[in-house]
A and B are shown apart, each in its own frame.
Chain A
């Protein structure tokens, strides 16, 4: 069975400092992993995806994530936070055995001026 755990429900950073949003997954198969961002009262937008190619994945708006099989992690990072990054972020695993997208509970990122 697949599962995903987002380790922090809230993260606060100052503008211009690095962002780290943590995600651990569990999967019996080689997983596909995604990060989505949701701004208030909006739908979810894909930031990046890992589908068994390069382990370091670059996404939009300067975000990237590294797939670490040994640690079963897929943490999202950005070198320098911007005020517009304030939003909720979801880590998602796709299970090839179940054809299900499993969503994490979300991490709300706050960016302080």
Chain B
């Protein structure tokens, strides 16, 4: 138990659906992250939020829309996805974005399959 909870753990959606992934951290951290992990590819950073402000968006397509309503919650809204978006989506948090002693704490991930 890392203190970072992701729901749902598994999601199957059609290309025209709209769904959301949720992440909640109980660690009092100020920074939250979305990563995408695809088979045979390095871990890809998608978005970074620091104190609820988006500080990084790594050229992610607009069909992925993040939301951070407070420092404990992070959402990834999904719409009109493509089959190549099927992957494990990992949420992580850290104490502060700029802290060099702070490791990332990961959730268990949401396995997304786009049909």
- Where the two chains meet, the residues of A that have a C-beta atom closer than 8 Å to any C-beta of B are 32, 34, 36, 41-46, 49, 51, 90, 92, 94, 96, 99-101, 103-106
Contacts and interface: CB of A to CB of B under 8 A. Distances in A.
Contacts, number: 47
Contacts of A45: 2, 106
Given A42-B108, A44-B104, A44-B106, 15 more contacts: A32-B100, A32-B101, A34-B103, A41-B88, A43-B90, A43-B106, A44-B90, A45-B106, A49-B103, A51-B101, A92-B104, A99-B98, A103-B43, A104-B42, A105-B42
Contacts of A104: 42
Query: 8 closest A-B pairs (Cβ-Cβ)?
Result: A43-B106, A44-B106, A103-B43, A51-B101, A43-B108, A32-B100, A105-B42, A96-B100
B100 A43 contact: no
Interface of A is mostly: strand
Interface of B is mostly: loop
